Amino acid sequence: MVRTASAAEASQLLHQMRDQVLEPDHVAVGSAVAACVAGGEWEEAVKLLSEVELWKLPAKSVGPVAYNAAIGACGYAHSAESALQLLERMDRQKIPRTTRTFGAAIGACGRGHAWPAALRLLEEMRDSRWPEVPGADAVAHAGTISACAKAVAWRHALVLIRTAEEWLHEPMSPAAYTVAIAACDRAGLWEQALAVFADMQQQQAEIGTTALNALLSACGRSSEWQQAVEAWNSPMFDNLADRVSSGLLIRALERAGQWSLALETFRELGAMRVELGTAAFNAAISSCALGRRWQFTLELLQQMPSVRVPMTRSTRNAALRAFDGPELIPAAAGALRLLRAGLGAAQTEEWHRQTLPRHLELTEHALDQAASQLELRLTNPEGVNEASAASASQGDKDFAERAERAPAEAQALPLELLSSIGPDLASATIGSLRRELRAVTAASLGAADADVFVHLVGSRLYG
């Protein structure tokens, strides 16, 4: 009955047993605590154990099961301190620790960024002074390596990987190798990442997509693009690559300045039907900026909506870097128009499938900022600081007044329209500019009622 009860019901049943002079046993206590944990109420689980301690029950009536569950719950709440306090309370009551106790505590230390405590617990397991603990197992080693990796304590992670076989009677888990490679990646240690990967191969551990991505990321972060390409082309990675892998590979080439090879690789992967996500497109667009291939930038921006790849703020930043002169103002205006297809992408299923962070969402305000900075950069290279000030102000909306959306054939009109309207725009109102622009556009297109989208930036209109 207790196992299927809610946290409140489980606690109530346990208290009823106490009130009726029925001494709760380790099954009742463990089930009550497990019910709290299952309901996501880790603090209630700790509180319940505190109450049980006041009842002065024999150690065998409480047992390690309840504490193991509570310690694990502390881990999911990222509270390493609470988990370690529960360990001390177990010791005071002479409740024996088990292998699961150590595993739960080490996991809690990892989630709570308390890697030194995780190392101490692993050493205690290795001492074998606990009757119920025959030694440090693979789970404990993997948990400690993960704790070190999350804290970028890569030296300790590498030492544990190299010395684990001295203590284990079973193979190290592939996840332990993967998190060690990830620790090297975050520390910028591509050579050590390759060494751990070599150990992984030597121990014949199963290599998965996550390990491949960690290795590609480590090589790319250090601009070791040859190593990234070599890893990608390795036969062992056949059928392992995903959209994250392709993005990391192209990013590695772009980061190393190999923009031509990055674009060539992007095309090849697309032809091979390798999935290309937002990261791959952004890296390819950034490569276009490096190589001043603004035409291909426009092609990629047109392609992204058609293949349902979400645009982000990084897409915007990379795309607009490709335009570096006043003569490219019409093309840059076209890029701004194409970027509008990325509005609202955070609400799409694909955004969530790629687990893109919400703060990268492309918004109208972000496009307004881009338009103001672009105008200053293209027409006044010395006004970069002015652009930054405009971006930080609350008046960005004054720089971007919208009328209706522009048809594709109107993309090349802005400069002609400017010359038709005249240079003195400061004295005109937004409404009058909109009406005049609409009339001139209609005449230029030969349409009776032209739909126009307008960015008003400084003293210029971008359609």
| 256, 225 contact by CB (below 8 A) | yes
Residue with tokens 């009328």, as numbered in its chain:
403
User: Is 391 among the domain residues?
Assistant: no
Percentage, residues of the chain above pLDDT 70: 70
**Distance separating alpha carbons of residues 239 and 234, to the nearest angstrom:** 11
233 with 253, same domain: the answer is no
What is 318-355 written as a DSSP string? HHHTT--SGGGHHHHHHHHHHHGGGTTGGGSHHHHHTT
Last residue of a domain, one of 362, 389, 409: 362
Residue with tokens 């672009």, as numbered in its chain:
374
Residue with tokens 């390690």, as numbered in its chain:
64
User: Is 394 among the domain residues?
Assistant: no
CB count within 10 Å of CB 208 equals: 12
The whole-number pLDDT of residue 383 equals 44
Count of alpha carbons within 13 Å of 81, Cβ hemisphere only?
A: 1
User: Is 35 among the domain residues?
Assistant: yes
Comparing 320 with 7, the larger pLDDT belongs to 320
User: Is 178 among the domain residues?
Assistant: yes
Write out the two tokens for 317: 């930043």
pLDDT (tens digit, 9 = 90+) per residue, 43-89?
777 777 777 665 666 656 567 888 888 888 888 888 889 889 988 98
Last residue of a domain, one of 213, 240, 267: 240
State mean pLDDT over 148-156.
Answer: 82
User: Is 384 among the domain residues?
Assistant: no
The whole-number pLDDT of residue 73 equals 83
Last residue of a domain, one of 332, 362, 392: 362
11 with 129, same domain: the answer is yes
200 with 282, same domain: the answer is no
234 with 261, same domain: the answer is no
- Is 403's pLDDT higher than 60? no
**Distance separating alpha carbons of residues 176 and 197, to the nearest angstrom:** 11
CATH number of the domain that 109 lies in?
A: 1.25.40.10
**Distance separating alpha carbons of residues 193 and 184, to the nearest angstrom:** 5
Comparing 137 with 424, the larger pLDDT belongs to 137
**Distance separating alpha carbons of residues 374 and 377, to the nearest angstrom:** 5
| 383, 415 contact by CB (below 8 A) | no
User: Is 346 among the domain residues?
Assistant: yes
Q: Which of 341, 340, 329, 323 is nearest to 413 (CA)?
A: 329
φ and ψ at residue 87, rounded to 5 degrees: -60, -45
**Distance separating alpha carbons of residues 106 and 125, to the nearest angstrom:** 11
261 with 356, same domain: the answer is yes
The dihedral through the CA atoms of 423, 429, 432, 438 has a sign that is positive
How confident is the prediction for the chain on average, in pLDDT? 77
State mean pLDDT over 303-317.
Answer: 95
293 with 422, same domain: the answer is no
2 with 112, same domain: the answer is yes
**Distance separating alpha carbons of residues 35 and 85, to the nearest angstrom:** 21
Write out the two tokens for 225: 């693009």
User: Is 374 among the domain residues?
Assistant: no
| 341, 309 contact by CB (below 8 A) | no
251 with 320, same domain: the answer is yes
CA-derived radius of gyration, the chain: 30
**Distance separating alpha carbons of residues 268 and 38, to the nearest angstrom:** 48
Count of alpha carbons within 13 Å of 165, Cβ hemisphere only?
A: 8
pLDDT (tens digit, 9 = 90+) per residue, 216-241?
999 999 999 999 999 999 888 878 88
Q: Which of 131, 75, 77, 73 is nearest to 99 (CA)?
A: 131
Specify the 3-state DSSP secondary structure of 309: coil
CB count within 10 Å of CB 459 equals: 12
**Distance separating alpha carbons of residues 261 and 267, to the nearest angstrom:** 10
- Is 413's pLDDT higher than 70? no
255 with 333, same domain: the answer is yes
Count of alpha carbons within 13 Å of 349, Cβ hemisphere only?
A: 1
* Mode of pairing for the β-strands spanning 455-457 and 460-462: antiparallel
User: Is 369 among the domain residues?
Assistant: no
Residue with tokens 């993997």, as numbered in its chain:
142
- How many independent structural domains does the chain possess? 4
- Is 306's pLDDT higher than 60? yes
Domain that includes residue 339, residue range: 241-362
* Separation in Å, CA 123 to CA 129, 176, 285, 288, 457: 11, 17, 49, 52, 64
State mean pLDDT over 111-131.
Answer: 86
Q: What is the pTM of this model?
A: 0.70
The whole-number pLDDT of residue 260 equals 96
Element (H, E) at 421: helix 414-421
228 with 118, same domain: the answer is no
pLDDT (tens digit, 9 = 90+) per residue, 255-270?
999 999 999 999 999 9
Across 20-165, where does the E strand assignment appear?
none
182 with 303, same domain: the answer is no
**Distance separating alpha carbons of residues 288 and 301, to the nearest angstrom:** 12
pLDDT (tens digit, 9 = 90+) per residue, 328-349?
888 888 898 899 999 999 999 9
Three-class secondary structure assignment of 83-111: HHHHHHHHHHCCCCCCHHHHHHHHHHHHH
22 with 105, same domain: the answer is yes
Residue with tokens 């190593």, as numbered in its chain:
227
* Separation in Å, CA 191 to CA 173, 179, 238, 267, 368: 21, 15, 23, 29, 43
Write out the two tokens for 254: 């772009």
